[in-house]
Amino acid sequence: MRYFRGMENDEGIRINKYFTQVGYCSRRAADKLIDAGAVEINGKVPEKGTKVMPGDVVTVRGEVVSPDAEKEHVYLAVHKPVGIVCTTDQRREKDNIVDFVNYPTRVFPVGRLDKMSEGLILMTDDGEIVNHILRERHGHEKEYIVTVNRPYDDAFLRSMSRGVHILDTTTRPCQVERLSPTVFKIILVQGLNRQIRRMCEALGHRVVRLKRVRIMQLELDVPPGKWRHLSEAEVKRLWGTDK
């Protein structure tokens, strides 16, 4: 078994971080696999927080998961259409994004975009960049164009920008701009479940179309249902470095 980033000497590495560093999935997805009993270390089901040590054999449903020192990570910009679900669960969800993209090697989505929404979603096999992009304390921006079912007023825009009480919390202040009587642009720095839809519903409006057009510095530039590889420069910008 090859050593990998983060496994220093005999200290080992937490099992969920192991999955991100070998490019199998994100930490959140790894925790779900562990909870489901799908993961084994040396033939035994681990608990969350268990460390993988040099020489350990990690499997998911019997398939060995190991690092590949020669591997170059994959980074894709995907224009997800309405009807596709951002999940790697290919068994339970027939309209999953993994099968839709049909990339020849294993990739998984960075975050989520709900089934009835469309737009930019990143897919990769680099679990570390997933954690970097989704970590809320970094304040990474995501921009959306939203259409609601009826005209809104200035009070609606003010409330959206100042914060709306949903899911037992108040959303963070954000940028909102009027584009037409029923269309607005919104830039978020957090990612609560169905956040924009819930915010609009709390203010008496229903979202009829939601399109994500930007993640950090990366803008949507591919047709619906298509994808492209990110350039090296784009990946570096996502990491916040020009080196």
Report the Cα 148 to chain-centroid distance in Å.
25
Tens of pLDDT, residue by residue, the chain (243 residues): 233 444 444 578 889 888 887 878 878 888 889 999 999 999 999 988 899 988 888 999 888 887 664 568 899 999 999 999 999 888 889 999 999 999 998 899 998 999 999 999 999 988 788 878 887 666 789 999 999 999 999 999 999 999 999 999 999 999 999 999 999 999 999 989 999 999 999 999 999 999 999 999 999 999 999 999 999 999 998 888 654
Same domain membership, residue 234 and residue 120: yes
Q: Answer yes or no: is 1 within a domain.
A: no
| pLDDT at residue 233 in the model | 93
Same domain membership, residue 79 and residue 60: no
| pLDDT at residue 242 in the model | 52
> Burial, 83: exposed, middle or buried (Cβ in 10 Å; 0-12, 13-18, 19+)?
exposed
Task: Please indicate whether residue 154 is annotated as part of the active site.
Answer: no
From the list 24, 19, 236, 27, the residue with the least C-alpha distance to 131 is 27
Same domain membership, residue 207 and residue 171: yes
- Tokens found for residue 129: 């960049």
Q: How far is CA 120 from CA 68, 83, 92, 144, in A?
A: 29, 14, 24, 10
Same domain membership, residue 146 and residue 123: no
Q: Are strands 75-80 and 118-124 parallel, antiparallel or unpaired?
A: antiparallel
Q: Domain residues for 170?
A: 141-215
| pLDDT at residue 68 in the model | 60
- Kindly report the CATH number assigned to the domain that includes residue 108: 3.30.70.580
Q: Answer yes or no: is 199 within a domain.
A: yes
Same domain membership, residue 208 and residue 111: no
Q: Answer yes or no: is 41 within a domain.
A: yes
Domains in the chain: how many in total?
A: 3
Nearest 5°: the CA angle 60, 136, 73 is 45
From the list 53, 66, 56, the residue with the least C-alpha distance to 7 is 53
Same domain membership, residue 100 and residue 205: no
Q: Answer yes or no: is 231 within a domain.
A: yes
Q: Answer yes or no: is 4 within a domain.
A: no
| pLDDT at residue 130 in the model | 81
- Tokens found for residue 200: 């609009």
| pLDDT at residue 241 in the model | 65
Same domain membership, residue 82 and residue 117: yes
Predicted structure pTM score? 0.75
Measured CA to CA, the distance from residue 135 to residue 121 in angstroms comes to 16
Same domain membership, residue 209 and residue 151: yes
| pLDDT at residue 9 in the model | 43
| pLDDT at residue 116 in the model | 96
Q: Answer yes or no: is 86 within a domain.
A: yes
Q: Answer yes or no: is 3 within a domain.
A: no
| pLDDT at residue 93 in the model | 92
One of 68, 89, 95, 114 is an active-site residue; which one? 114
Q: Are 151 and 182 in contact (CB under 8 A)?
A: yes
Same domain membership, residue 224 and residue 130: yes
